[in-house]
Structure 1
């Protein structure tokens, strides 16, 4: 059964989905009568929530990381129950521009761009990102990296760059729709990862006006492969280079910006 594109939790009204989940939970949790759920009972009640939490405690996602023990079946838990092939997956961007943006970003990752010297927000390529975004060198540069990738892609395709010219992650979020983009909020994306596509820009809000951003390269249910600047393997917002990372979609606490309607 395919993931239905929304989080399944207590009060779920679709009896077919509830039955499928109960049958699967009964199979994977063993034959202990105390753990068995009645598949003919269409209710997603407290006992079913308890069994989902038990499953989550005993299993991991496709990247080998613990599942969140919340008793709700989102895309990561669904994939762990029914298999990775039952959740949305995409490695193809929507349109030539976003496809080229991802290619440009991947090229920068392949160059192993790093700050010079370390922890300086400087370096030949880092300075170029910031200059292209129209801001002084030495600033945080994750958003400038994204803008540079869009700008290089637009030049290669001889089209206008639709992205807001900014080095501010949250400024980009606020102004993106005025540049023809569509915004997908966190709750929408977590419930239905099929909305998220390669080439989209993710935005994280760290509070106090601080944020982080990068590009989606691939989507596999609730897991994203991203390419980001000003980060590192610890996924910090003040890391020293361009890195390809794997993130849970739930980590993206602001949302996604989609420019797929531009530059096709």
Structure 2
């Protein structure tokens, strides 16, 4: 059964989903051998016993990337995928429009070049300096958003069209200005968790670390509750102060600010 694109939880009213869920939980938890705990698939109600079974499943299983599931009794894309298999959640590697596909192609080229800071931990280097200069800020600054802006700008120049992205190197400055100044769509964390299908390749993810600090990158591919990204100023530890351009993967639930969509801009 395909993931319905929203959180399934206590009080769910779609009986077909609840029945399928109960049957799968009975099978995955071997509740047929425990008559007192076995869920009744003929009852299309998501009640406390179903929530308890979901939490039991979550405590015993990991997501598709081997990380523990959140034990909350609610079924998002990651828990659904663990229950019903990888084919049950949507996956997309196609950007929202042709221009965003060009942006991703530029970013992929930078990732393939294995851009790194030189010297190490300096926020400098031949390519890094170009990213920052393109965004209109001095060299030596944090450069994750400058990298994103560079990719947008290079794609726009190659296509002979205006750049739709806000010219900035600031994570939260971008988030605060993108809708009003450029007409971009902002998708909040809550909206993305409730419906992971809203998150598409070509979007910019935004994380807020407090104190005016944050981190951003481009989404190259989406698979259920996981985004596969191309990011600057990071490394394999997923830090906001890493030394290069990397391809990484993150959970949608870990993107605590939201997503910016320039489709059609």
Q: TM-score range by the shorter chain?
A: over 0.9
- Pick aligned residue for 1:128 from 121, 127, 130: 130
Give the deviation of 1:12 after TM superposition.
1.2
> Which sits farther off after the overlay, 218-227 or 32-41?
32-41
3-state SS, counterpart of residue 34 of structure 1: coil
- 2 CA distance for matches of 1:98 and 1:52? 38
Q: What is residue 109 of structure 2 aligned with on the other side?
A: 107
Give the match for residue 36 of structure 2: 34
Decide which of 168, 171, 179 is 2:170's aligned counterpart: 168
Matched residues, number: 262
CA–CA distance in structure 1, aligned partners of residues 111 and 23 of structure 2 = 44
**Structure 2 residue runs without a partner (length 5+):** none
Structure 2 equivalent of residue 195 of structure 1:
198
Counterpart Cα distance in 2 of 1:23 and 1:189: 27
Return the alpha-carbon distance in structure 2 between the equivalents of residues 11 and 207 of structure 1.
Answer: 35
Distance 2:221 2:36 in 1: 41
- The residue correspondences of 1:8-47 to structure 2 (distance < 5 A) are 8-30=8-30, 31=32, 32-47=34-49
Deviations 1:209-257 (A, max 9, x none): 1110000000001011000000111111111110000101111111110
- Aligned residue for 2:259, secondary structure, equals strand
Give 1:221-236 correspondences, 5 Å limit: 221-236=224-239
TM-score, normalised by the number of residues in structure 2: 0.96
The root-mean-square deviation of aligned C-alpha atoms, in Å, is 1.0
1:117 matched residue in structure 2: 119
What is the deviation of 1:64?
A: 1.7
1:43 positional shift: 2.2
Match for residue 67 of structure 2 among 46, 58, 65: 65
Aligned-partner SS, 1:16: helix
Unaligned runs of 5+ in 1: none
Query: How does 1:183-222 map onto structure 2 within 5 Å?
Result: 183-222=186-225
Contact 1:75 1:191 in 2 (8 A): no
Q: Secondary structure at the match of 1:215?
A: strand
Corresponding residue SS for 2:79: helix
Deviation at 1:192, TM superposition (A): 1.2
| TM-score, normalised relative to structure 1 | 0.97
Match of 1:2 in 2: 2
